[in-house]
Structure 1
Amino acid sequence: MRDVYFVLSQHFMLLDLAGPAEVLQIAIEHGAPLRLHMVAAEAELVSSVGLRQHQLEALPETIPDQALVLLIGVQNSKTNLQLPAARAIVRWLQNSFDPARHQLACICSGALLAADAGLLAGRRCTTHHELIARLQSAAPNADVLENRLFVEDGPIATSAGICAGIDLALHLVARDFGAELTQVIAREMVIWLRRSGNDPQLSAWLVHRNHLHPTVHKAQDLLSQPQSRRWTLAELAAQVHVTPRTLSRLFVQYAGLSPHDYQQSLKLALAQQLLANPNLSIETVANEAGFGSARDFRRVWQARFGQLPSEGRKA
């Protein structure tokens, strides 16, 4: 069981908390081994919309190994991050958080708390576009990236404002528990899935899921399963109880590409992951990614990336 700590301070942004918390709670309902905690340096807080949060847990004296700590942003951060309770969080991070044993996710202005604790030095990070200059000042040795939804650098991830926390939470679920669970969560929350932190592995499985058509989603779910199955259009259409012509039309209309092109993008994304293992031959990568042959794999890869798979592996 992995512990997840949502760290709140006075006038916390309600959606910064609620969005990621709902993502992880739904993950738990589908079997993810997570345990959520709402913690703060004060027993009672007021959110950005005036909703009072009672019976919060205290900041833990020690953070369990492999725990995930989420720093939630606040309203009017220039003032509210200077309040005593917020400064107590900074001291707690300095004393208790260990990047070698824990993971950190910062939502919006939560990155400023991490910067004040010295946790962003030497790392790539981001925050809300209105806070970029302040983050650069607070973490002069960090590589602060603008115009990014979220950035992950080792055990520390940071996100832009408000809804970007949901994007980051979905990314964390995909990373730790797989894209299939992420798809289930996003569909349950009715989230458009075109947003990612420039992560091609994530986008391949999620970028074309920004629609609500159940037949296309069912076909995409089948195609997202292990790629050793090489679906034909006729087989796929039979599984979702439509004609091949209808499935092709629905796919283009709602997903924006053909079933063949969608399956091809998944194969290439899986191949990219497999190529990271130097012990796998090109032939093995091609087979496990679902290509008919190594020759077919090389042809498709070169058409997409302008280089051979072996050159991509070196890069």
Structure 2
Amino acid sequence: MTDRRIVFVVFDGFQPLDLTGPHEVFHSAGAYACEVVATRAGPVRSVSGLVMHAAHGVTDLDPAGTDTLVVVGGRGVDRAREDEALVAWVAAAAATARRVASVCSGVFLLAAAGLLDGRRVTTHWAREEQLARENPEVRVDCDPIFVRDGRVWTSAGVTAGMDLALALVEDDLGRDVAHEVARRLVLFLRRPGGQSQFSVALWSRQPATDPVRAAVGAIHADPGARHDIAGLAAHAGLSPRHLQRRFTAEVGVPPAAYVERVRVEAAQRALTGGDEPVEAIARRCGFVTAETLRRTFHRRLGVAPADYRARFRSTTGALAGHADLSEEGTSP
């Protein structure tokens, strides 16, 4: 089996798991030669203080011959994308590479190298707005765990780099090899759902005025209440039409959409925080029926409520739910 050359790009302030996670996936597949490049060869300090050794600097590693270029993310990417030598090397390597990939905020370095125009990409949900604002020519979609657009692959934050690496292995070597790597590393071959499973609470702007704050406060105080536009308008002391307009402008989503997301969050907390039946959670959180809750979870999170509970509950009972993953072939 011929080795495929994977070149990881790192920089001061990189996220270590963006490198070590995918690196381990490729190593476990047994068909890749992995190298690490930085602006200069030698020690590179990660955002958490872990120091990694870059065997190559951009002045001594020929960018040609790279099969797959992987740019990692981390807080240091904002400074790295101003490093002209590093950006130029990324652009040169990408010009001849069969594939180009980024993990998390590494996508900003790809953008700086001019590699994303007209493409659909993803990144960590917390940097979605920044990426879209700074790169209007790029289609940003931050629900998927990873996105493939032609030869450019981008992934969400941190552990999503391993999902991306597994997909690259499957693309190269087939499902059976990727499946075996996933089993060995105790990973999902294809993780269910999207980033919205993990981005609870930080998805909206804060209201700027007291009337809208009153409406938002009423929703959070009792997610299961009716919360139609007339009732929310009464809390705000505005007409329904005026509230609809003000709420959407200040918060970024219409009242009905906000209510639904708060209810989903309340259901998520209930599912992971205890053993209350799904039917009872649905009624208490304003979904009325378990079927309505199930349909909403599938639409927003990509998983059923029971599956969400099994995967994210931090109790002893949740461990039994994780054991069921062996039936999907993702654990030994």
Residue 192 of structure 1, CA deviation = 3.1
Structure 1 stretches of 5 or more lacking a match? 199-252, 263-315
TM-score of the superposed pair, with normalisation by structure 2: 0.54
Aligned length: 197
Instruction: Tell me, yes or no, if structure 1 residue 88 matches structure 2 residue 105.
Output: no
Q: Following the alignment from structure 2 to structure 1, what is the Cα–Cα distance between the partners of residues 178 and 74? A: 27
Residue 89 of structure 1, CA deviation = 1.8
Range moving further from structure 2, 48-57 or 155-164: 48-57
Counterparts of 1:298-309 in structure 2, within 5 Å, are none
Q: Which residue of the other structure, out of 32, 35, 52, is the alignment partner of 2:33?
A: 35
Counterparts of 1:256-295 in structure 2, within 5 Å, are none
Does the 8 Å contact 1:149/1:196 carry over to 2?
no
Does the 8 Å contact 2:8/2:35 carry over to 1?
yes
Partner deviation per Cα, 1:195-254 (whole Å, 9 max, x = no partner)? 1698xxxxxxxxxxxxxxxxxxxxxxxxxxxxxxxxxxxxxxxxxxxxxxxxxxxxxx94
Instruction: Tell me, yes or no, if structure 1 residue 167 matches structure 2 residue 142.
Output: no
Q: Which residue of the partner structure matches residue 183 of structure 2? A: 187
Instruction: Tell me, yes or no, if structure 1 residue 97 matches structure 2 residue 94.
Output: yes
Code of the aligned partner of 1:74: G
> Secondary structure at 1:24's aligned position in 2?
helix
Q: RMSD over aligned Cα, in angstroms?
A: 2.7
Does the 8 Å contact 1:61/1:96 carry over to 2?
no
Q: Which residue of the partner structure matches residue 118 of structure 2? A: 122
Change in 2 beyond 3 A, CA 1:142/1:196: farther
Q: Which residue of the partner structure matches residue 143 of structure 2? A: 147
> Secondary structure at 1:98's aligned position in 2?
helix
Identity in percent: 35
Residue 93 of structure 1, CA deviation = 2.2
Q: Following the alignment from structure 2 to structure 1, what is the Cα–Cα distance between the partners of residues 165 and 18? A: 11
Residue 147 of structure 1, CA deviation = 1.1
Q: Which residue of the partner structure matches residue 24 of structure 1? A: 26
Q: Following the alignment from structure 1 to structure 2, what is the Cα–Cα distance between the partners of residues 67 and 151? A: 19
> Secondary structure at 1:12's aligned position in 2?
coil
Q: Following the alignment from structure 1 to structure 2, what is the Cα–Cα distance between the partners of residues 197 and 119? A: 27
Residue 114 of structure 1, CA deviation = 0.4
Change in 2 beyond 3 A, CA 1:53/1:123: same
Change in 2 beyond 3 A, CA 1:197/1:138: farther
> Secondary structure at 2:177's aligned position in 1?
helix
Q: Following the alignment from structure 2 to structure 1, what is the Cα–Cα distance between the partners of residues 19 and 4? A: 18
> Secondary structure at 1:54's aligned position in 2?
strand
> Secondary structure at 2:101's aligned position in 1?
strand
Q: Following the alignment from structure 1 to structure 2, what is the Cα–Cα distance between the partners of residues 58 and 192? A: 34
Q: Which residue of the partner structure matches residue 73 of structure 2? A: 73
Partner deviation per Cα, 1:142-176 (whole Å, 9 max, x = no partner)? 11112111000111000000011000000000111
Does the 8 Å contact 1:8/1:39 carry over to 2?
yes
TM-score of the superposed pair, with normalisation by structure 1: 0.57
Change in 2 beyond 3 A, CA 1:37/1:194: closer
Counterparts of 1:200-239 in structure 2, within 5 Å, are none
Does the 8 Å contact 1:104/1:157 carry over to 2?
yes
Code of the aligned partner of 2:55: L
Change in 2 beyond 3 A, CA 1:102/1:14: same
Q: Which residue of the partner structure matches residue 205 of structure 1? A: none
Instruction: Tell me, yes or no, if structure 1 residue 136 matches structure 2 residue 132.
Output: yes
